[in-house]
């Protein structure tokens, strides 16, 4: 954050010094944020205030709705205030009543923003503590006009205040906003080569289901206008956190957008923009956050609606809901015949590879890749976010790819492009410079193979998991005392008839051999030694469990003439898609385990072929560079040098 933004944010946050003692640290932000917002709205309205008041006096006795007239008088802004007061002129007496009247004089949309903060309750507490006038004067003296701070700069100030608020209340700042360098990169990637779609005169829709303070929506609008000034941008969003939602609403209000399009609520359980589709979508969902709270609603939608709902491809594990947001966005893509939609979403590493074939995560990746929706993934440097230092990735998706990108996926490794910050902000220790962002976007746009850009077919990430079985070969040990003790300690043994148990215990010592290499032989002679007594299946199962052991020299156990598989030796092989599983098996498995076979009953539900289809994107493997170890002679020389230094130090100690 440049110095002047940081200075302004620090000054605003210094109000906390006044609040200390009368308020908890976790309450500071709930006072400072709405006051900052109030002062910003006041400064934006200041140039047209007198015109609005004159228009209000002229029409206050009219039966006509005044809103359109007052908006026109305010210079086309979507909000206004009809009070002659401002923060500097509220007076020293009856301050609470005057401030309440002032806030109520805002137009309904602006007034609603302060309701989301629960602002009035805190104003009453400030008044009781005799702090209200002092706090008002502090904000009234701060210049937050558009001339002093652009909308972009105010966004940075709000984000810094939220970060401090999150730190003071032990919340997660990263859940509320995305660092602006990451916003800029993701937005630049999303709008690359999209001039046709955002041509002058066109209406362009931008959506963020995790809107936070509106950083993606603001950046998206600015980027579109930098390409096509005459394009009309409509923004839509939904946000869970009330404070962030209120700031986002205010930002959109100041910019003249319809703030009814900015919804408050949980996107996964309560999509408040159902059935709507958008041209461009951006999102930074929370990393690794579980979705237990909305599990029932999500599972119900998955089961009842299938692909007609948002979560048809599958459900990820409850511990990480990132892919739910991605599916939510995919459900809002326009038809490809209407130029389709593009998505830019920031995810952690788990959506790349978590979950084997057949799992929810794998099925979601399968849906994305088999429908050719994934254009590119960019690996970011670590330590880029305020609340975590983990590896993160920007995914770019489209259902209207350029011809050369069809059936292809581009991976870009930007992990070494982060510059160190002079001062860390939480966990954020690195940032992307404009040059780095330009380099990444250029790599993406060029769509060429380099050391940091690799291109694959969508099928390169798929495989077919086959189940490899090996025969059950059991040797039985009828006289082993340890095994016999374990047998009798088993709860299942106690459930057998007492007479049967005694018959078995009497029969086992009668075996001549200590080790029988055939299950059928053991069973045959056991019945003989039991004098023909009936041996129920559950009883023999217990004997096999405790007295039997795999032995390569033993006879193969068979059922109905077919070898019986040994579940303990069962294994899986991942065969690349497009390769014949039998040819792969003959080459990779048979030479090592000649008696193995493929379980052909395990088939994929979608294509009915042997083997379960899975997809994963092993990003790091494709960019791994082998670094040979140093020569032994060099290592020995270093060790000798260290030894000499240690000896020299010891001699100094003893001298």
pLDDT in tens, 50-81: 999 999 999 888 878 888 999 999 988 889 99
Looking at the structure, do residues 132 and 278 belong to the same domain, yes or no?
A: no
Contact 244, 217 (CB under 8 A): no
Same domain, 21 and 86: yes
Residue 579 has pLDDT above 90, yes or no: yes
What are the pLDDT digits (tens) for 153-175? 888 888 888 878 877 665 554 45
Q: How many structural domains are present in the chain? A: 3
pLDDT digits (tens, 9 = 90+) for 21-42: 899 888 888 899 999 999 999 9
Q: What is the DSSP letter of 564?
A: P
**Nearest C-alpha neighbor of 549 from the set 483, 469, 505:** 483
CA 65 to each of CA 81, 109, 156, 254: distance values in angstroms, whole numbers, following the listed order: 15, 15, 36, 21
Give the integer Cα–Cα distance in Å for 210 and 190. 17
297 falls within a domain: yes
Residue 281 lies in a domain: yes
pLDDT at position 358 over 70: yes
Residues 251 and 371 in one domain: yes
Say what the pLDDT of residue 544 is: 95
Decide if 624 is inside a domain.
no
**Cα separations in angstroms, 410 against 192, 448, 460, 463:** 14, 9, 12, 19
State the Cα–Cα distance between residues 40 and 157, nearest whole angstrom: 11
pLDDT at 456 over 60: yes
131 lies in a domain?
A: yes
Residue that is last in its domain, among 168, 197, 225: 168
- Is residue 34 in some structural domain? yes
Within this chain, do residues 455 and 504 fall inside the same structural domain, yes or no?
A: no
Are both 343 and 492 inside the same structural domain? no
Q: At a CB cut-off of 8 Å and minimum separation 6, what does 48 contact? A: 73, 74, 75, 77
Say yes or no: 272 and 412 in one domain.
yes
> What would the pLDDT profile of 401-422 be if each residue is shown by its tens digit?
999 999 999 999 999 998 998 8
Q: Band of the pLDDT at 440, cuts 50, 70, 90?
A: very high
Q: What is the structure's pLDDT at 244?
A: 86
Q: Is 626 a domain residue?
A: no
More confident residue, 152 or 246: 246
311 and 178: one domain? yes
Task: For 551-570, write each residue's pLDDT tens digit.
Answer: 999 999 999 889 999 999 99
Give pLDDT, residue 176. 52
Verify that 320 and 273 share a domain, yes or no.
yes
**623 lies in some domain:** no
Q: How confident is the model at residue 649 (pLDDT cuts 50, 70, 90)?
A: confident
Listed in sequence order, the residues at least 6 apart from 4 whose beta carbon sits closer than 8 Å to its beta carbon are none
Residue 173: predicted pLDDT:
45
pLDDT band at 180 (very low <50, low <70, confident <90, very high): confident
Tens digits of residue pLDDT in 611-638: 999 999 999 888 887 778 888 888 888 8
| 442 shares a domain with 492 | no
Coil vs helix vs strand at 266: coil
Least confident among 23-27, 347-351, 548-552: 23-27
Look at residue 2 in the predicted model and tell me its pLDDT: 43
pLDDT average, residue stretch 444-452: 95
Tell whether the model's pLDDT for residue 526 goes beyond 70: yes
Residue 110 confidence (pLDDT) above 80: yes
State the residue range of the domain holding 525.
474-563
Any idea what the CATH number is for the domain that residue 320 is in? 3.40.50.150
The last residue of a domain, from among 437, 462, 487: 462
- Predicted local confidence at residue 174, as pLDDT: 46
The answer to whether residues 322 and 451 belong to one domain is yes
Percent of the chain with pLDDT over 70: 98
Residues 419 and 433 reside in one and the same domain: yes
pLDDT at position 655: 66
> Do 232 and 329 fall into the same domain?
yes
From 407, 431, 462, the end of a domain falls on 462
Does any domain span residue 325? yes
Nearest CA to 479 out of 555, 546, 524, 557 is that of: 546
Tell me what pLDDT residue 1 has: 39
The rounded percent of the chain whose pLDDT value lies above 90 is 69
- Average pLDDT over the chain, rounded to whole? 91
């Amino acid at each position: 954050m440049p110095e002047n933004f940081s200075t302004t944010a620090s000054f605003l946050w210094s109000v906390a010094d006044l609040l200390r003692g009368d308020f908890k640290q976790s309450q500071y932000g709930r006072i400072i944020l709405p006051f900052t917002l109030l002062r910003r709205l006041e400064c934006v309205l200041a140039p047209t205030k007198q015109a609005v008041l004159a228009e209000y006096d002229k029409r206050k006795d009219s039966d006509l709705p005044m809103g359109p007239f007052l908006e026109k008088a305010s210079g086309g802004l979507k909000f206004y205030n009809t009070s002659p007061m401002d923060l500097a002129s509220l007076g020293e007496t009856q301050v609470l009543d005057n401030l309440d009247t002032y806030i109520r004089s805002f137009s309904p949309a602006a007034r609603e923003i302060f309701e989301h903060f629960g602002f009035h309750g805190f104003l009453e507490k400030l008044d009781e503590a005799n702090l209200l006038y002092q706090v008002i004067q502090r904000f009234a003296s701060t210049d937050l006009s558009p001339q002093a701070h652009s909308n972009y700069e105010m966004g940075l100030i709000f984000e810094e205040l939220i970060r401090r608020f999150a730190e003071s209340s032990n919340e997660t700042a990263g859940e509320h906003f995305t660092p602006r360098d990451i916003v800029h990169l993701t937005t630049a990637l999303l709008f690359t080569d999209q001039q046709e779609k955002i041509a002058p005169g066109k209406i362009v829709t931008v959506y963020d289901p995790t809107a936070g303070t509106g950083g993606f929506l603001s950046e998206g609008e600015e980027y579109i206008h930098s390409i096509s000034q005459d394009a009309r941008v409509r923004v839509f969003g939904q946000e869970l956190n009330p404070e962030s939602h209120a700031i986002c609403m205010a930002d959109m209000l100041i910019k003249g957008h319809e703030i009814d399009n900015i919804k408050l609520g949980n996107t996964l359980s309560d999509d408040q923009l159902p059935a709507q589709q958008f041209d461009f979508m951006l999102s930074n969902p929370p990393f690794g956050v579980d979705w237990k709270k909305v599990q029932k609603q999500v599972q119900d939608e998955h089961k009842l609606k299938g692909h007609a709902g948002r979560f048809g491809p599958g459900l990820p594990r409850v511990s990480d809901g990132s892919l739910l947001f991605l599916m939510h966005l995919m459900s809002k893509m326009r038809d490809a015949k209407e130029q389709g939609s593009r998505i830019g979403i920031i995810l952690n590493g788990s959506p790349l590879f978590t979950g084997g074939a057949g799992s929810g995560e794998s099925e979601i990746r399968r849906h994305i890749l088999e429908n050719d929706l994934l254009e590119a993934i960019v690996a970011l440097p670590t330590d880029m976010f305020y609340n975590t230092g983990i590896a993160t990735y920007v995914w770019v998706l489209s259902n209207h790819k350029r011809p050369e990108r069809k059936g292809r996926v581009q991976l870009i490794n930007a992990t070494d492009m982060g510059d160190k910050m002079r001062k860390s902000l939480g966990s954020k220790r690195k940032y992307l410079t404009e040059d780095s962002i330009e380099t990444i976007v250029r790599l993406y746009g060029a769509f060429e193979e380099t050391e940091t850009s690799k291109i694959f077919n969508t099928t390169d990430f798929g495989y077919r998991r086959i189940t490899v079985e090996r025969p059950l070969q059991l040797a039985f040990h009828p006289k082993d005392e340890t095994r016999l003790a374990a047998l009798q300690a088993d709860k299942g043994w106690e459930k057998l008839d007492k007479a049967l148990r005694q018959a078995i215990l009497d029969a086992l010592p009668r075996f001549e051999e200590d080790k029988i290499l055939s299950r059928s032989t053991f069973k045959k002679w056991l019945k003989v030694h039991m004098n023909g007594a009936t041996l129920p299946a559950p009883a023999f199962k217990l004997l096999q469990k405790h007295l039997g052991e795999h032995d390569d020299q033993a006879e193969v156990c068979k059922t109905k003439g077919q070898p019986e598989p040994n579940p303990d030796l069962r294994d899986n092989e991942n065969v690349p898609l497009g390769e014949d599983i039998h040819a792969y098996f003959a080459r990779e498995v048979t030479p090592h385990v000649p008696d193995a076979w493929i379980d052909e009953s395990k088939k994929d539900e979608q294509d009915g072929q042997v083997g379960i289809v899975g997809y994963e994107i092993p990003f790091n493997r494709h960019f791994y560079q082998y670094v040979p170890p140093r020569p032994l002679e060099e290592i020995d020389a270093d060790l000798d040098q260290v030894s000499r230094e240690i000896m020299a130090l010891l001699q100094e100690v003893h001298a």
